[in-house]
Structure 1
Amino acid sequence: MKIDAFCHLLPPAYAERLFAIDDSPVARNIQTRVSGIPALVDMDVRRRAMDEFGPDYRQIINTAAPPLEDLGPAERTVELARIANDGMAELVRDHPDRFAGFCAAVSLDDVDAAIAEAERAFDELGAVGVQMYTHFHGGPMDDERFFPFYEAVARRGNKMIQVHPCRDASWADYKTEERSKFELWWTLGWEYDLSAYMSRLVFAGIFERLPDIKILIHHGGAMIPHFAGRVGPGWDQLGARTPPDQLAVVTGYPLTRRPIDYFRQFYVDTAYFGAGDPMRTAIRFFGVERTLFASDSPFDPEKGPGYIRSTIANLEEMDILTPADRDAIYAGNVTDLLGLGV
């Protein structure tokens, strides 16, 4: 059994509503992007891409970026969340042999409405978690106003939060420029965003305050495992590099352990796009038990099966893994984490 824990899809009714938006540059951009990836919207194409991996391969689905909040006023984004979640639930219900579950879409313009929609998705639609992003209109996700949302998911026990990056070309590479060049905002910026998101939550005391929360970080935990020296002994000296009159910027929630210990409480996936050596580093840092198989399908050059195939190849050739380790990463961990009945 292989359960691909982080895959993107646009349910038909949601895609139709998304393509009808004509007053949002963000919507126009995703409309153009989606038109080149049929497997996001065409379920026949999707099934053919999945067929290569046999009857024991299934996906956990979510909607593709951008965040709903970026698609217009709150009234619209709340509607989009309901349409997306109803559509994903229908796909999971009608095709259990293809889809093991879905993570709900929410709009955080209204935190109370986001909590209500997440709970509707859990209780009425069977969602296994929610997806959220590394920014809210460019702002940080450790803002105190979001903690009721984190708390609402954490108290459900076997529900997870999937975290996806979301900066765009408007985030310039340098202060002197207006836009990012060469898609650095994506290649490097998204990994910084994920790492900054993790770091801000750690220092906000997310795991002290909500020890049962389950947060899955896309792209294998991004930069964190590859900078373990800076995250470990480097952050053990937090404040040593900051002038005395600026210490407020390094004062967070009172932590009872080393910062690096909290980072290892995140769950991560294997969406490394075929880069086996970084995946190996991430597995060593977070541990087999915190690693979930995921491919980020269908955003590969083949528009569907490419990253699935290369991720499986990476795991199969990784000599640090036992057969039991592979089974855990492929399906056992996510099944245990979410209580999946597959």
Structure 2
Amino acid sequence: MRYIDVFNHFFPRQLWDRMLESEGAARDIGKRMRGIPCIYDLDERLRVMDQFASKNYTQVLSLGMPPLEALGSETEVEEFARLGNDGLAELVRQRPDRFVGFLASLPMNSPNAAKEAERAFSLGANGLQIHTNINGLPLDDERFFPVFEAAARHGRPVFLHPSRAAADLPDYKTETKSLYEIWWTFGWPYETSAAMARLVFSGLMDRLPDLKILAHHLGAMVPFFEGRVGPGWDQLGKRTSDEDYSLVLKRLKKRPLDYFKDFYADTAVFGSEAATRCGLSFYGSDRVLFASDSPFDPERGPGYIRDTIAVLERLELPLTDMEKICFRNAATLLKIADPTL
């Protein structure tokens, strides 16, 4: 078996140094992440990967949190995106034995986001990483359509990464922030699920039928709530009196559940066998890709990689399904040019 880890995070040196030099949020993030060397130190990243040499393990790189658009003005974020995409492209060129591709990040708060997507694709980007809201704006806002259109035109997927902070949406109206990191544990899966729903019901997936979208963390809440997504949303409008949502169902070309089945998903569920079984049951082996979410485990690098591989091996899947999940789906979806595949 071999493993292509499609969702793990790294800041290339050029971007990391620029973040630490900047004022405000970018520098603060850099300081906080100094305790996770694997996210910015290439030698440490390679040392962690060495632990999985026997697994024929490689990575598709993407930037870490937070979203670039949260780090500054349009001009600053455009610079961060250029540095990040140039740096990841360089790593892939220099170490193809370790890094088989990268996901580009964009200055989504800038009108030049689609232009940067085009530039990143010219560098060899295998897809785009986009967060589930853009400084509070939903992804179906028309100003973001050119980014999705560019991805569809180039045949490159969009990977959705959740984004939500403690003060963004309190869990109770009487409070000013989400406590106990509920915003992360339960808030991030909700963020992803809500973004998926907006893309479905806005009709974007009908407008761009060739667009491929992967929802991080095995499709978030969708597999577990299949009954609500399926028979529940087949009755869209029955619970609403101030708008006629039945018109939405008439406009869509397919049943809502069928659109949610069209998403891809990854195995980054922090070593949960129950979640892995649930996600695989919903999406099937053709639409699930191996991912670890390294280096955000308690060991700061190897933990989620090791645990995710162990879960998949315990499932004793048919060899053809295991190969699809672990590397073949990634090679196809991301158009990874590797002669050994």
Aligned partner of 2:85 in structure 1 is 85
Q: Is the 8 A contact 2:19 2:27 kept in 1?
A: no
Aligned partner of 1:246 in structure 2 is 243
- Runs of 5+ consecutive residues of structure 1 not aligned to the other structure: none
Distance 1:268 1:45, change over 3 A: same
TM-score after normalising by structure 2: 0.95
Query: In structure 2, what is the Cα distance between the partners aligned to 1:322 and 1:32?
Result: 45
Return the match for 1:206 from 181, 197, 204: 204
Aligned partner of 2:52 in structure 1 is 53
Query: In structure 2, what is the Cα distance between the partners aligned to 1:164 and 1:29?
Result: 21
Give the deviation of 1:23 after TM superposition.
Answer: 2.5
SS at match of 1:31: helix
Pair 1:289-2:320 in alignment: no
Aligned partner of 2:324 in structure 1 is 328
Alignment of structure 1 residues 264-279 onto 2, 5 Å = 264-279=261-276
Query: In structure 2, what is the Cα distance between the partners aligned to 1:33 and 1:279?
Result: 31
Q: Is the 8 A contact 1:204 1:252 kept in 2?
A: no
* Aligned-partner residue type, residue 303 of structure 1: R
Aligned partner of 2:277 in structure 1 is 280
* Aligned-partner residue type, residue 259 of structure 2: Y
Query: In structure 1, what is the Cα distance between the partners aligned to 2:246 and 2:183?
Result: 25
What RMSD, in angstroms, separates the aligned Cα atoms of the two structures? 1.5
Alignment of structure 1 residues 49-128 onto 2, 5 Å = 49-54=48-53, 56-111=56-111, 113-123=112-122, 125-128=123-126
Pair 1:134-2:132 in alignment: yes
Q: Is the 8 A contact 2:21 2:27 kept in 1?
A: no
Query: In structure 2, what is the Cα distance between the partners aligned to 1:44 and 1:148?
Result: 37
Distance 1:253 1:31, change over 3 A: farther
Query: In structure 2, what is the Cα distance between the partners aligned to 1:162 and 1:326?
Result: 21
Pair 1:160-2:176 in alignment: no
- Identity over aligned pairs, percent: 51
Give the deviation of 1:35 after TM superposition.
Answer: 1.1
* Aligned-partner residue type, residue 9 of structure 2: H
Give the deviation of 1:143 after TM superposition.
Answer: 1.0
Aligned partner of 1:35 in structure 2 is 34
- Runs of 5+ consecutive residues of structure 2 not aligned to the other structure: none
Deviation readout 1:26-70 (Å, 9 max, x if unpaired): x35422431110001111111111111116210001100111111
Q: Is the 8 A contact 1:205 1:253 kept in 2?
A: no
Return the match for 2:313 from 304, 308, 316: 316
SS at match of 1:216: strand
Give the deviation of 1:257 after TM superposition.
Answer: 1.5
Give the deviation of 1:207 after TM superposition.
Answer: 2.1
Q: Is the 8 A contact 1:131 1:164 kept in 2?
A: yes
Query: In structure 2, what is the Cα distance between the partners aligned to 1:192 and 1:140?
Result: 13
